[in-house]
Amino acid sequence: MGVLAEVYEMLNTCNKCGFCHTSCKTYKVDGAETKVARGRIQLIKAVADGKIKLDADYKDAINSCLLCGECAIACPSGVSGKELVMAARRDLKLKNGVKPFAKSYALNTLANPNKLERAFKLFGGIGKSILNKVDGIDYFRGVDIKGMNVAQVPFLDQVPSRILVAQPKHKVAFYVGCFLNFSLDDTAKSVVKVLTKNDCEVIIPKEQVCCGLPQYAYGDFETARGNARKTIDTFLDKKIEAIIVACGSCAAMLQKDYLKLFANDVTYLPKVKRFTSLVKEFSEYMAEIGVDESKLHSFTPVKVTYHDPCHMVRGIKVTEQPRKLLKSLPRVEYIEMFEANRCCGASGLVQAFYHEMATDITRQKAKNIEDSGVEVVATSCPACIMRLQGGINMVGQKQKVMHVADLIARAYED
């Protein structure tokens, strides 16, 4: 049975009402029927029926989807355009491979920690040196490349594999993820600081790899499963109460999508279920065990809002926990911004290959942030942090984008 045959029944549940038009950000930018769930679903069905070929227009429609999941919320029938687009991408991968070469190279690099480390070192060394000498190249295809931080040493090489506390009440493992390891290492340190301040012994396995989400999103299930197996086998033998993930996208992959990846593997699936039951997004876990507010100290008053990453709000349904944590911080004035759960335009590689569309989406998000009157935007996804900060800088605004863990860590005295 082909990939599209597996989802054919779901393709037929779309009643073509057009409610998805109200929520789809790519449609609001482009205005074409092929850039909304209804149109994409009809194209996928036409391919499944053999009525159209896998031409450039079809690939453009499928690959430009943000996978934000907003269409399923608007759909009266609950049709998941995201799942159908992912099936179409998997079908494309099986028939044509991942194209163009730049996308294939990026996905292969992300899947391999050694290649990814070399790529970050090259960019942080020669790449940054060249960029700093050339005026006018702050952004590449809408991405703030000059402002992108590169860790001088990967986080996993900066810390021991086990961090003890005086009187441990909890024992957790920290799944770091690619960008916290190679770029936002200070945020990774904030996660550890908050956990240890709240009496958590932290295990940090050094043999961690990419969760597999980039490959999964573009239909390379074989590579995604390989990385998933490595991740599961690495963390399951640690005798811990939770696996902490400080990236909303990684958390959704580890907590939900691993179950889909191995749904038909009856031998390995029980192990997957044990693993996924342990996965907790950072703010989800901290809200569960409670932040020790007696150790918090006041800092300069600050107005803060929160941006919901797509994988958090529509993937693992974690929305109230980060807000609760932010509101608990001394002298933080929390302000809810308009459309807090609106996609920021990052969406993995979409921002690079559909940069004009992504930039328009980011600009609207930046306007919502400006209108809220805050100084700091907190969020729970490294990709969102980089996308939002770049977008804010691009339009000349002054807000600082921070991870929730960074704000909490700042409220603890060393």
Angle formed at CA 345 by CA 112 and CA 183, multiple of 5 degrees: 40
pLDDT > 70? residue 128: no
pLDDT > 60? residue 160: yes
The arithmetic mean of pLDDT across residues 64-80, rounded, is 93
pLDDT class of 124 with cuts at 50, 70, 90: low
- In 77-212 the beta strands, taken as DSSP E runs, fall at 162-163, 170-175, 200-203
Q: Residue 244: is it exposed, middle or buried by C-beta count within 10 angstroms (0-12/13-18/19+)? A: buried
- Please tell me the distance from the alpha carbon of residue 205 to that of residue 234, in angstroms, as a whole number: 7
Q: Which residues contact 195 (CB under 8 A, 6 or more apart)?
A: 172, 174, 202, 244
Q: Which residues contact 105 (CB under 8 A, 6 or more apart)?
A: none
Q: What is the mean pLDDT of the chain?
A: 91
Instruction: Give the domains, in start order, of the chain with CATH numbers.
Output: 3-96 (1.10.1060.10), 292-410 (3.40.50)
- Quote the pLDDT of residue 180: 96
DSSP for 287-322, written as a single string: HHH---GGGB---S-EEEEE---HIIIIII---HHH
- Model pTM score: 0.93
Question: Residue 278 has which token pair?
Answer: 């342990």
Q: Residue 414: is it exposed, middle or buried by C-beta count within 10 angstroms (0-12/13-18/19+)? A: exposed
Among 344, 380, 392, CA closest to 187: 380
β-strand pairing of 376-379 with 332-334: unpaired
pLDDT class of 96 with cuts at 50, 70, 90: confident
- Quote the pLDDT of residue 315: 94
- Of 162-176, 216-230, 346-360, the poorest mean pLDDT is in 346-360
Buried b (16+ CB within 10 A) or exposed e, 275-292: bbebbbbbbbbbbebebe
Q: Do residues 172 and 241 make contact, with C-beta atoms less than 8 angstroms apart? A: yes
